[in-house]
């Protein structure tokens, strides 16, 4: 990952100091699964999280599309949770196609009670 950031810095329009920070973060933590978990970027996200939420909220309330910012915020919120709304997909697949779902307690695959009373 540090090499990729260096290559981008050398031959790309994105010749920013930010790429140096990416290179440094991955050099210090080469096994990091995501920049968000590196100390520098974790501090950056912590410092700017509230502002991003305010910007996205104001834009949405004003009817302004901010798909990249809203997507970044959604990604961050999903990434930081042990369990999230993606589990609903398993229930939908089971309801419509009887695919079953895994319980969080690790028990075998199950099917939901999707009878007519549901």
Long-range contacts of 25-28 (CB under 8 A, 24+ apart): 26/1, 26/2, 27/2
Give me the residue spans of the domains in the chain. Answer: 1-32, 39-102
pLDDT of residue 97: 80
Question: How confident is the model at residue 64, as a pLDDT?
Answer: 98
Full pLDDT tens readout for the chain, 118 residues: 677 766 666 555 656 677 788 888 988 998 998 999 999 999 999 999 999 999 999 999 999 999 999 999 999 998 888 777 777 787 788 888 877 777 777 777 777 777 665 5
Note the pLDDT of residue 118.
Answer: 52
| pTM: predicted TM-score of the whole model, two decimal places | 0.64
Residue 47 is predicted with a pLDDT of 96
| DSSP code string of 71-112 | HHHHHHHHHT-SS-TTHHHHHHHHHHH---B--TT-PPPB--
Cα distance between residue 50 and residue 48, in whole Å: 6
Residue 8 has a pLDDT of 62
């Amino acid at each position: 990952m540090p090499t990729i950031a260096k290559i981008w810095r050398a031959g790309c329009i994105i010749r920013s100091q930010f790429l140096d920070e990416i290179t440094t973060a991955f050099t210090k933590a080469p096994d990091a699964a995501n920049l968000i978990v590196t100390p520098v970027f974790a501090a950056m996200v912590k410092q700017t999280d509230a502002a991003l939420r305010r910007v996205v909220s104001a834009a949405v309330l004003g009817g302004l599309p901010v798909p990249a910012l809203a997507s970044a915020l959604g990604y961050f919120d999903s990434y930081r949770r042990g369990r999230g709304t993606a589990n609903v997909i398993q229930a939908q697949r089971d309801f419509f196609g009887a695919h079953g779902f895994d319980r969080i307690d690790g028990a075998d695959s199950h099917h939901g009670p999707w009878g007519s009373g549901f």
